[in-house]
Structure 1
Amino acid sequence: MKQFLFVTTLCASTAFAQELKIEQAQKIFDLPTHCITIEYPNKLGNVLGSDADLKTPKQLRPIFYGCFDWHSSVHGFWSIVKLMKDFPELDKNGEVRQQLNALITAENVAIEKAFFEDKNNRNFERTYGWAWLLQLQMELNNWQDADAQRWAKNLQPLSDLIVEKYKSYLPKLVYPIRTGTHDNTAFGLSLAIDYARSVNDQTFEQSIIENANRLYLKDKECNIGFEPSGSDFLSACLEEALLMSKIHSHQEYKKWLKAFLPQLFDQKHELKPGIVSDRTDGQLVHLDGLNFSRATTLYQIANKLPELNYLISWADHHLNYSFNNISNDDYMGSHWLGTFALYALKTKREIESAKQLQEHVNASIQKFLK
């Protein structure tokens, strides 16, 4: 029977994989592959300690110098790796693979790492960029590909440094940062705990759990009606709700969420997508990202609490509202929005696949028992 169930599960996993459409994948893939080697315009964001620090983006960060800023470059690499893994045909001639081979070298990682060790830039990209780097590391670790495994090995020293920075920083954070932009604490912890679990770093995982509970467990009545602000790409309320879903049991989480976001238990509550008035404005276009990140959180909350399955339609509405706006028309959106769309689509696909797989396995068990 065990052998039967194993084969059934394996076949079901393949049969029910909810792949992105190739057209969607190509649309997203084209965005970061276009910009990872585009050095300018560039928002450096670093602190200068002396004239010696006046260097070009590529000199300072020989891997993640493109896509306008460091964090967008990092999550652009994540998008590329994720899509190459799922859709090898997107890189038919191997040009993108050659680019990654040239960029993710041990020598380049050492320079990137040295930048984070500089006394003036120890807090650089805390914690938004940190979290995306760990997502990239996790994606590389999980790709059974010779090049990817080499890239993962090369990148690991920088990821290890980021983990140590997290462990040092979290106990000192007296209050969470609740913005709808890069500094949001819950977003950074939510991605980080996925990495900690993927590498079985129980010390890091426990640090995240303990500090998340310290910072958020007593929160009540988050005012989601005040969202969004004019340049949000994250929902402070929903990012916190997502993080807590990852560290509590079903019943514990349901009780906490009812006190924190009772609106989610009202099927008639209206959560409207963010409206973008000018997609050439780098701040205003953030609201397309808000729609994608809201979709991601709503999919995962509905997965944690199946009784709130109507949240899936809320998520679909947000995702569909902004997806057709992704294009290469203006760099202010094109250098980063593809990642947020991909992450939402990935989340939706994984949840649908898991549900269909479970239904198939349950049916197979019942059939076998008869």
Structure 2
Amino acid sequence: MKELYLLLLCMVTTSLGKNKSVDLELDYETASRLAGLPLHCAHVEYPNKLSQVLENQTELLAPSELHPIFYGCFDWHSSVHGHWLLAKVANLFPDTELHQNVRTLFAQQFTEDKVATELAYFNRKWGKSFERTYGWAWLLKLQEELELFKDEKFQEYAQILKPLADYIADLYIDFLPRLSYPVRVGEHTNTAFGLVFALDYARLDGNEKLIEVIRNVSLTFYTPDYDCPLRYEPSGYDFLSPCLQEAEVMSKILDDDLEYSVWLQKFLPQLFAENFVLEPGKVADRTDGKLVHLDGLNFSRAWALYTITKKLDDKDMVERLNAIGDEHIRTSIDNVVGSDYAGSHWLASFLFHALETRNS
């Protein structure tokens, strides 16, 4: 795996897209370059941010003992969405060397014993709030991708991981009705972000209870909202746009396109202005794990805009907003592969999801 990563890294001696006139296509070469990052860091145990509440000294263990699957790539959630990226590229490009490399890694990762240990962590006294809801959402997105595979081996991995996905779905069902107010920040705990992937998975899995809970809290929290202050964004550490994340989740909740357009015009009226401008986030220091969040913001803004435009009929507006999304991607696309580990351990997943959303 290390050799593959180094080979892919050497390939990236020129721009991935910022200075190119070509479209931001998600081709095999791009997928291979981005996949090289989680292929490498899946087994990089340190540095590691555990975000752990210790009940006693017996719980002070190495990351790989606590999380035998998701211990690499600096923290649990980054490892999870790194595995999602690998599952996605393997699914998109079957019968390739990349597909086989991912399959080899997953054979090591997804065993019943390892999943049981991951699940046991959530069953600790403080475990039910671990990674709530950012890591939960990415785990369900990983499970969704595994279940979409036609490859029988990956379907087997889906069955092995399913107990953890089921448990996290139950955590959502228990937690969301107790959340009195949405969390409207630009980082991990943002409620709207935590609902999007969970809703996609619930619909695939046919989990009507989870669908109902997500729909109820979304309508309760977000239907009355208006004039979201997009002009105040971003905050210094944001990797999500609170306004655009809310608009994205509501695009999935409000099935009728006209109903959504009416809500969006009330919530983000500035998007409908012909002279609307949204400047990409600027990163002053990409070795700083917090400041580099703004590269991720550029990717998440892009995928939110692409998702929003799929619900709109105004072709000029769609073109304008998609162009803004493209500008955001091009601002940060060259700062993923080959960048400092502060960003490279997680940004590939964000870039890949943005490109996938754009080209879907």
Listed as ranges, the matches of 1:123-202 within 5 Å are: 123-202=129-208
1:70 aligns with 2:69: no
Q: Deviation per CA, 1:163-202, whole angstroms, max 9, x where unpaired?
A: 0000000110000000000000000001111111111212
Q: Deviation per CA, 1:276-299, whole angstroms, max 9, x where unpaired?
A: 111111001100000000000000
1:257 aligns with 2:264: yes
* 1:20 aligned to which of 14, 26, 38: 26
CA distance in 1, matches of 2:126, 2:250: 33
- Check conservation: 1:78, 1:135, Cα contact below 8 A: yes
User: Percent identity over the alignment?
Assistant: 49
Q: Counterpart of 1:312?
A: 322
Per the alignment, do residues 60 and 320 of structure 1 end up closer, same or farther by CA in structure 2, a change over 3 Å counting?
same
CA distance in 2, matches of 1:260, 1:339: 28
Shift of 1:250: 1.2
CA distance in 1, matches of 2:288, 2:98: 34
Listed as ranges, the matches of 1:1-370 within 5 Å are: 20-88=26-94, 91=97, 94-248=100-254, 249-307=256-314, 308-309=317-318, 310-350=320-360
Amino acid at match of 1:165: L
Q: Deviation per CA, 1:86-124, whole angstroms, max 9, x where unpaired?
A: 124663594442221011111100000000011122100
Q: TM-score, normalised by structure 1?
A: 0.88
- Check conservation: 2:281, 2:295, Cα contact below 8 A: yes
CA distance in 2, matches of 1:99, 1:50: 33
Q: Counterpart of 2:12?
A: none
Structure 2 stretches of 5 or more lacking a match? 1-23
CA distance in 2, matches of 1:180, 1:66: 24
Q: Which one has a bigger Cα radius of gyration? A: 1
* CA RMSD, Structure 1 to Structure 2 (Å): 1.4
CA distance in 2, matches of 1:220, 1:341: 29
Q: TM-score, normalised by structure 2?
A: 0.90
Q: Deviation per CA, 1:191-248, whole angstroms, max 9, x where unpaired?
A: 1111111112122111100111111111111100000001100000000001111111
Q: Deviation per CA, 1:324-346, whole angstroms, max 9, x where unpaired?
A: 11123311010000000000111
Structure 1 stretches of 5 or more lacking a match? 1-17, 351-370
Q: Deviation per CA, 1:65-90, whole angstroms, max 9, x where unpaired?
A: 00000000000000001011212466
Per the alignment, do residues 77 and 176 of structure 1 end up closer, same or farther by CA in structure 2, a change over 3 Å counting?
same
- Check conservation: 2:137, 2:197, Cα contact below 8 A: yes
CA distance in 1, matches of 2:345, 2:95: 22
Shift of 1:24: 1.1
SS of the aligned residue for 2:127 comes to coil
Aligned length: 333
SS of the aligned residue for 1:280 comes to coil
Q: Deviation per CA, 1:29-74, whole angstroms, max 9, x where unpaired?
A: 1111010110000000011000100100000000000000000000
